[in-house]
Each structure stands twice: as structure tokens, then as C-alpha cells.
């Protein structure tokens, strides 16, 4: 590994660019689930409302909220809005600190006003609406809300209920003896009696008041759709950035690894062509060919893995842990559980890998013996017509491909097919309509897979042909090395080798670039499918056809569905 890192150090500038791009890719990869959560939690459940401070508000609602604030907070709240037609609009020149202070000041009044509207909605016809004392009593009853919910059905407040309560508040403010300080003392005492958990849970009702106010203005749907389009656009832009970065990483990693392979082949051949007679006698032709092609191909593969996956894994893992801890979600124990599960998965995968590799090596061992026995039985005419390099390629490179077939491809084929069929069946059983939405991009994915298979097979065949050509060249010239040295043809032969070496380098870059483009393309399709699920599923959630939990389940299933499809396409 030390020598491999020395080879990578020759391309340190490109490696630094790759590491920087990997950090960007990890940031995008970790941020995308947050956008999905925003669409479901804020966009669907909260109607696209992020703050308890409304962007637009009617004068009646503004006055009612102001009555529930301290004098200085009420003045700042009133000054934060300017007239805009029939409504008041929040000023855009507010600083972040001013906006935060207003949000803190308006949260409790929002809760009180919403609870008042809820009580008005559930007050039997003919009864008098509640007064200010009733509001405080309703606050203190928040701790027993779970009990009352199970006993009686409540009606959600409407814009008319909000208007009714705002009218009541306006009337009470004109009554003799009304005191803002008394209201504040009553609210402070009521909230002080509540548990902190109850208070935190009740803060979500401040957003419900803003949603109710938007409904009264007739803009609730527009606000929700604006938020969904905004977050969806950001999610799409982040996905495009991630796809572009992933392609760039694949391109740079391919160029670096292919360049390392090309340079190693050049240096190896330059050393061999200047071997003395004693050194040539110590090495067989087949051994030198294997070192120049097979072994260097393995080094090239390791370099790609180091730059694309090995370097990315710790960045993504550490970033994920910091991301979860930074959110302060109280789910830190899940990290410990995930790490334990990952360790168990690693142990199981390791045992599986060792057993499969043992089986594959036994098969290849038998295959090589049979091939050697077959070659020894061939006529002399076959050896006159077939270059030695081609025979060596068939017995070494191609048998390694068979080993990979038994050790990896067949196992992954069975696992991925079962996973795809199982997910499809589960999704259709859970909700057929959502399943059909999930499968909308299947024809596009199938077409992309067909195109990828054709390109990958073509580039793979070109690489194998170039390797065979290079092996043939090495076989012929290593066997006649003494003649080359006697006639001082080393420079000419190095130039010929460099031409074939460069041809293999370009073919290798093209082959790896096909994979570098295909993987991000499949990921992009999965995000588009996710957007379709969220768009169609959100409408069904709002109509009450499916639950939020089912929508989350389908987003998880759709992310799992595309990975096995990608692996199958790459294998076949």
C-alpha cells in the first residue's frame, strides 16, 4: 500500500481536488434527507409555514395578538408590519435578531389565540364565547389534553372561529378595568403550571394559528405550494450539484488511476528491455507479461477504489455522525445502535466473502488445470497461428473474470433480484396507487440501463482487445529481447510499446467514465422518483387517502429500489 500511495502522491494536485469534491458530495448526500423531511414535516403537515410570525396578517388578528403581549413587545410587533392593500405585510428590512425577538414574543399569543378559536369552534350553539379567564384556564388544561382527546371529538377551528375570537378580544379590550398587565400575569401563571414537555408540544399550535390566519386571507394553499416548490427546487439543484460532482470525481479518479497504470507499464517495460542476459534468464516471458498487465490492472483498480470509495466512506460516516449530533434531536442512542448493527453486518459480510472467495478460487483452480491440459493437447499448428500473449490472457485474465462471476456476480444477482421483486410486491400490497407512482420512471431506467449495457460491453471488449494486443507485443519482444539488444532497437521498441500502452490507457479511461456517468444518472433518477412520490403522495395525504407514515415508507422503499437495479446493470 505504501508504494500505491507513492504513486498517488505523483498526482497530489488532482487528489486534493478529488478530496475537496468528495466533501461537497458528502454534504449533498447528507443534506438531501433533510429536504425530504422539510417537504413532509413543514410542507405537508404544517402547510408550508416555518415561523410563528406571519408574513401577512389582518388588522383584527394583529390587534388580538398585541393584546396578549407586553407593552414594548406589542409596539415592536405593530411597527414590524406595513400596510399592503387589505392586509399588513411583514417588513423585509428586519434584522435576524429583530425577527427572532418577534418570533419569541408572538409564540405564546399565537397559542392562546388558536386555543381560543378551537374552544369557540367546540362551544355548543347558543352558549356565550369564552372570556379572558377562560383562555388562561384552557392553557392550564393543556396537560390533560391527551385525556380529553380520547373522551370527546373536537372540531378543528375555521377562519370564522378566528374572526369570532378576534371580535371578542376587541370588545374585551374596550371594557372598563381591562389591564394588559393582568392578562400577562394570568398567562404567565397558567404557563408556569405546565410541564416543559407540554409547553414544547403546544408551540406547534402557534404555526396552526398562522395557518388559520392564511386561510382567512385565502392564501393558505398558495403559501403551501410556494414552500413545496421552493424546497423541491433546492432539492433538485442540490441533486444536480451532487451528480455533477460525482461525475467529476469519477472522471478525475479514472484519469489518475489509468495514468498510474500507464506509467507503471512504461517503467516496467523500460526496465525489462534493458535487462542483462542473466536477468532475462531469471524471469519467464509469462511472468513478465503477468506483471506488466494483470498486476498493474489490479493496482489501477485499487487506486480507483481508494479515490472514489475508501476516501469517501469515512468522510460520509463522520459527517453523518456530526450531522445527527448537531441537530440535537435526542436520538444519539440510535447512532450507537447503528454502529453495533454495522459491525455485525461487517462480520457477517466478511465471513460470507471468505467462503465465497474460497469457492471461487477452487473453481478457478480446477478451470486452470483443465485449460492447461487442453493447451498441452493442441497441435503445433495452433501455436504457430496463435500468439503466446493471447494464450496467457485466456489462462490468467479470463479465468479471473470467471472467478469474479462465481465469487460476486451470482450472489449479487440472486440478492438483487429477490430484493427488487420483494419491494415491488410489498409496495403494491401497501398501496397500489402509490406503487404505480413509484414505477413511473421504470421505463426510463430500463432504457438507460440498456444504453449503459451496450456502452459498457463495447468499452469492455475494447479494453480486453487492447490488453491482448499488449500481451502479444510483450510475448514476441520479451522472447526476442537478446536480438533487440544486439541490434540496439530499444528506443524503437519502447516507442512501439508506448503507442500500445497509450491506447490501453485511453480505453481504460473510457470504460471507467461510462461507469462514472451511469451511477450518478441512476441516483438522479431515484431523486426524481422521490420527488414524484412526495408530490403525488402529499396530495393523497392532504386528501386523507394515506398517512404521513405511509408516505415516509414509500420514500424509503424507492431509495432502496434503485440500488439493486444499478448493481444488476453494472454486472450484466
For position 232, what pLDDT does the model report? 87
Q: Residue 348 class from Cβ within 10 Å (0-12 exposed, 13-18 middle, 19+ buried)? A: exposed
Length of the chain: 572
User: CA-to-CA distance for 363 and 356, rounded, in angstroms?
Assistant: 11
The fraction of the chain above a pLDDT of 70, given in percent, is 88
Task: Examine the pLDDT at 129 and tell me if it is beyond 60.
Answer: no
Burial state string for 372-402 with b = 16 or more CB within 10 A and e = fewer than 16? eeeeeeeeeeeeeeebbbebbbebbbebeee
Helices 204-217 and 96-121 cross at an angle (nearest 10°) of 80
Q: Are 529 and 239 in contact (CB under 8 A)?
A: no
For position 165, what pLDDT does the model report? 85
Would you state the cell numbers that stand for residue 13, as one nine-digit string? Answer: 494536485
DSSP secondary structure letter of residue 100: H
Which pLDDT band, with edges at 50, 70 and 90, does 332 fall under?
low
Strand ranges of the sheet holding 56-57, from the earlier edge strand across to the other edge? 56-57, 87-90, 81-84
Q: Which of 114, 116, 101, 113 is nearest to 66 (CA)?
A: 113
Comparison of pLDDT for 192 and 305, the residue scoring more: 305
Which pLDDT band, with edges at 50, 70 and 90, does 56 fall under?
very high
What is the helix (H) or strand (E) element at residue 81, kind and residue range? strand 81-84
The fraction of the chain above a pLDDT of 90, given in percent, is 8
Helices 294-305 and 285-292 cross at an angle (nearest 10°) of 20
Which pLDDT band, with edges at 50, 70 and 90, does 292 fall under?
confident
Which pLDDT band, with edges at 50, 70 and 90, does 162 fall under?
confident
Q: Which of 570, 572, 459, 461 is nearest to 521 (CA)?
A: 570
What's the distance, Cα to Cα, between the start and end of the chain in Å? Answer: 31
How many CA atoms are closer than 13 Å to the CA of 491, on its beta-carbon side? 1
pTM for this predicted structure: 0.74
What is the helix (H) or strand (E) element at residue 57, kind and residue range? strand 56-57
What is the helix (H) or strand (E) element at residue 469, kind and residue range? helix 442-479
User: CA-to-CA distance for 413 and 481, rounded, in angstroms?
Assistant: 46
Which pLDDT band, with edges at 50, 70 and 90, does 58 fall under?
very high
Which pLDDT band, with edges at 50, 70 and 90, does 136 fall under?
very low
User: CA-to-CA distance for 242 and 234, rounded, in angstroms?
Assistant: 12
Nearby residues of 442 by Cβ (< 8 Å), 6 or more positions away = none
User: CA-to-CA distance for 499 and 485, rounded, in angstroms?
Assistant: 20
Task: Examine the pLDDT at 216 and tell me if it is beyond 80.
Answer: yes
What would you report as the CA-atom Rg of the chain, rounded to the nearest whole angstrom? 35
According to the per-residue pLDDT averaged within each range, which of 129-143, 207-221, 512-526 is highest? 207-221
For position 18, what pLDDT does the model report? 92
Nearby residues of 164 by Cβ (< 8 Å), 6 or more positions away = 117, 120, 129
Q: Are 280 and 481 in contact (CB under 8 A)?
A: yes
Burial state string for 100-124 with b = 16 or more CB within 10 A and e = fewer than 16? ebbeebbbbbbbbbbbbbbbbbebe
User: CA-to-CA distance for 291 and 299, rounded, in angstroms?
Assistant: 11
Comparison of pLDDT for 505 and 124, the residue scoring more: 505
Would you state the cell numbers that stand for residue 323, as one nine-digit string? Answer: 450531522
Phi/psi region, residue 126 (left: phi>0; alpha: psi -120 to 50; beta: rest), is left
Comparison of pLDDT for 131 and 315, the residue scoring more: 315
Amino acid at each position: 500500500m505504501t508504494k500505491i500511495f507513492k504513486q498517488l502522491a505523483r498526482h497530489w494536485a488532482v487528489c486534493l481536488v478529488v478530496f475537496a469534491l468528495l466533501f461537497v458530495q458528502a454534504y449533498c448526500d447528507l443534506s438531501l434527507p433533510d429536504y425530504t423531511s422539510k417537504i413532509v414535516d413543514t410542507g405537508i403537515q404544517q402547510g408550508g409555514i416555518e415561523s410563528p410570525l406571519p408574513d401577512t396578517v389582518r388588522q383584527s388578528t394583529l390587534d388580538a395578538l398585541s393584546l396578549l403581549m407586553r407593552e414594548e413587545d406589542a409596539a415592536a410587533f405593530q411597527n414590524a408590519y406595513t400596510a399592503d392593500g387589505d392586509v399588513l405585510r411583514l417588513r423585509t428590512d428586519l434584522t435576524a435578531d429583530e425577527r427572532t425577538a418577534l418570533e419569541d414574543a408572538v409564540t405564546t399569543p399565537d397559542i392562546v389565540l388558536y386555543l381560543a378559536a378551537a374552544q369557540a369552534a367546540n362551544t355548543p350553539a347558543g352558549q356565550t364565547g369564552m372570556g379572558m379567564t377562560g383562555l388562561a384556564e384552557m392553557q392550564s388544561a393543556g396537560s390533560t389534553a391527551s385525556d380529553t382527546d380520547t373522551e370527546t371529538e373536537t372540531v378543528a377551528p375555521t377562519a370564522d372561529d378566528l374572526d369570532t375570537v378576534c371580535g371578542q378580544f376587541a370588545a374585551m379590550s374596550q371594557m372598563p378595568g381591562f389591564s394588559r398587565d393582568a392578562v400577562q400575569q394570568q398567562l404567565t401563571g397558567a404557563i408556569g403550571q405546565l410541564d416543559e414537555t407540554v409547553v414544547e408540544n403546544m408551540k406547534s399550535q402557534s404555526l396552526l394559528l398562522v395557518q388559520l390566519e392564511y386561510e382567512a386571507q385565502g392564501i393558505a394553499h398558495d403559501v403551501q405550494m410556494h414552500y413545496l416548490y421552493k424546497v423541491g427546487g433546492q432539492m433538485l439543484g442540490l441533486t444536480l450539484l451532487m451528480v455533477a460532482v460525482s461525475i467529476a470525481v469519477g472522471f478525475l479518479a479514472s484519469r489518475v488511476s489509468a495514468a498510474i497504470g500507464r506509467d507503471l507499464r512504461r517503467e516496467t517495460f523500460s526496465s525489462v528491455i534493458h535487462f542483462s542476459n542473466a536477468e532475462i534468464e531469471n524471469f519467464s516471458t509469462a511472468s513478465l507479461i503477468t506483471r506488466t498487465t494483470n498486476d498493474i490492472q489490479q493496482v489501477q483498480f485499487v487506486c480507483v477504489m481508494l479515490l472514489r470509495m475508501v476516501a469517501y466512506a469515512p468522510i460520509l460516516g463522520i459527517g453523518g455522525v456530526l450531522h445527527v449530533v448537531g441537530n440535537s434531536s435526542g436520538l444519539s442512542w440510535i447512532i450507537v445502535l447503528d454502529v453495533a448493527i454495522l459491525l455485525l453486518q461487517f462480520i457477517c459480510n466478511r465471513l460470507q466473502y471468505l467462503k465465497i472467495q474460497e469457492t471461487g478460487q477452487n473453481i478457478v483452480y480446477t478451470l486452470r488445470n483443465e485449460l492447461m491440459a487442453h493447451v498441452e493437447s493442441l497441435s503445433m499448428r495452433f501455436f504457430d497461428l496463435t500468439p503466446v500473449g493471447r494464450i496467457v490472457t485466456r489462462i490468467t485474465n479470463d479465468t479471473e473474470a470467471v472467478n469474479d462471476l462465481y465469487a460476486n456476480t451470482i450472489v449479487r444477482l440472486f440478492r438483487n433480484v429477490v430484493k427488487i421483486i420483494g419491494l415491488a410486491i410489498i409496495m403494491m400490497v401497501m398501496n397500489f396507487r402509490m406503487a404505480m407512482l413509484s414505477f413511473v420512471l421504470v421505463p426510463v431506467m430500463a432504457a438507460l440501463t440498456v444504453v449503459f449495457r451496450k456502452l459498457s460491453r463495447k468499452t469492455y471488449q475494447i479494453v480486453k482487445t487492447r490488453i491482448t494486443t499488449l500481451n502479444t507485443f510483450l510475448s514476441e519482444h520479451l522472447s526476442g529481447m537478446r536480438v533487440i539488444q544486439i541490434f540496439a532497437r530499444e528506443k524503437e521498441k519502447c516507442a512501439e510499446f508506448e503507442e500500445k500502452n497509450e491506447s490501453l490507457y485511453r480505453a481504460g479511461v473510457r470504460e471507467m467514465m461510462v461507469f462514472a456517468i451511469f451511477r450518478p444518472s441512476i441516483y438522479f433518477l431515484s431523486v426524481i422518483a422521490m420527488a414524484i412520490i412526495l408530490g403525488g403522495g402529499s396530495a393523497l395525504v392532504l386528501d386523507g387517502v394515506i398517512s404521513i407514515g405511509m408516505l415516509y415508507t414509500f420514500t424509503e422503499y424507492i431509495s432502496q429500489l434503485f440500488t439493486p437495479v444499478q448493481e444488476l446493470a453494472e454486472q450484466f
